[in-house]
Amino acid sequence: MGKVIAIVPAAGSGSRMGSTVKKQYLQLVDKPVIMHTLAALEQCPEIDGIVIVVGPGEVALCQEMIDQGNALSKIMAVVPGGDHRQTSVYNGLCALPQDTELVLIHDGARPLIRPEEIAEVIRVTREIGAAALAVPLKDTIKVVDERGIVMATPRRETLWAVQTPQVFRFSLIMQAHRRALDTGMLATDDCALIEALGSPVQLVAGSYENLKITTPEDLVLAEAFIKRRKN
Ligand SMILES: Nc1ccn([C@@H]2O[C@H](COP(=O)(O)OP(=O)(O)OP(=O)(O)O)[C@@H](O)[C@H]2O)c(=O)n1
Ligand SMILES: C[C@](O)(CO)[C@H](O)COP(=O)(O)O
């Protein structure tokens, strides 16, 4: 069997957080957000290596942070990202070794992922080729026009909020990204690129705790979840 390598896109600007320090480097209880994320990936026995994608000017800073947090032995490379999440992931894909079998993509800004959830998505990907963690939506969703007038109310039972990790066979995700480059498709997650190929993506029920740190209130929630886990 080939290797399972994680790509951690962490090159975003965090505009919705509105803080001077980028959200992936903000302190969350005992360490920066990104270090929580890396620790969970490190602890998952199914993962063989980790490639981190950071802002073009942050490679040295990130490398230094990793060297200081000396419990991280799986980091293979820190590479510069691009203007969009999709470009950052593609840069990570281009840095993977040839013997990679499965690629696991996990947002640097999702620090509450659990090693056992990661392992389950990997297990399902071995059967299907593409899988992602997700949760059923709790709210009723409205589709609106540009004035905010409601156009439709989709049936909630059909709606899931997709998270990361998203895991793919290496050849499949490479094909999907290259096709997106050719067609100019830009998506906010990697599953959408697989869907565009017409290939199946299996969702795996995850946890509402695996939130993405996006706006300031997410930090309050994440801190509460971490403290509850410590107790
Ligand atoms: N050019 C980009 C944009 C995003 N990301 C990463 O993709 C993940 C999810 O993106 P998001 O939460 O949207 O992060 P930002 O783009 O940083 O946030 P915002 O949209 O608020 O600016 C984050 O770990 C982020 O660092 C990335 O690697 N490269
Ligand atoms: C990939 C993702 O985490 C799935 O929820 C998300 O789409 C990435 O960030 P964004 O906030 O949607 O741009």
Nearest CA to ligand 2 atom 4: 163
* Residue 114 beta carbon below 6 angstroms from any ligand 2 atom: no
Q: What is the CATH number of the domain that holds 108?
A: 3.90.550.10
pLDDT in tens, 65-90: 888 876 899 999 999 999 999 999 99
* Structural contact between residues 17 and 213, judged by C-beta atoms closer than 8 angstroms: yes
* Structural contact between residues 47 and 41, judged by C-beta atoms closer than 8 angstroms: yes
pLDDT, residue 71, reads 85
Distance 182 CA to ligand 1 centre (A): 23
ipTM above 0.95, yes or no: yes
Strand partners for 161:
135
- Decide: residue 76, CB within 10 A, 0-12 exposed, 13-18 middle, 19+ buried: middle
Ligand nearest to the CA of 214: 1
Say how many domains are in the chain: 1
Percentage of residues of the chain with pLDDT beyond 90: 96
**Local structure of 72: helix, strand or coil:** coil
Ligand 2 atom with the shortest distance to the CA of 189: 1
pLDDT, residue 162, reads 98
Distance 108 CA to ligand 2 centre (A): 11
Distance 88 CA to ligand 1 centre (A): 9
Tokens 């290259």 — which residue? Answer: 178
pLDDT level of residue 15 (50, 70, 90 thresholds):
very high
pLDDT level of residue 59 (50, 70, 90 thresholds):
very high
φ and ψ at residue 129, rounded to 5 degrees = 105, -25
Q: Which domain range does residue 84 map to?
A: 3-230
CA–CA separation, 108 vs 92, rounded Å? 13
pLDDT in tens, 167-206: 999 999 999 999 999 999 999 999 999 999 999 999 999 9
Whether the bond between 45 and the residue before it is cis, its omega within 30 degrees of 0, is no
pLDDT in tens, 115-135: 999 999 999 999 999 999 999
pLDDT, residue 155, reads 98
Distance 60 CA to ligand 2 centre (A): 26
What residues have CB less than 8 Å from 145, skipping those under 6 apart? 151
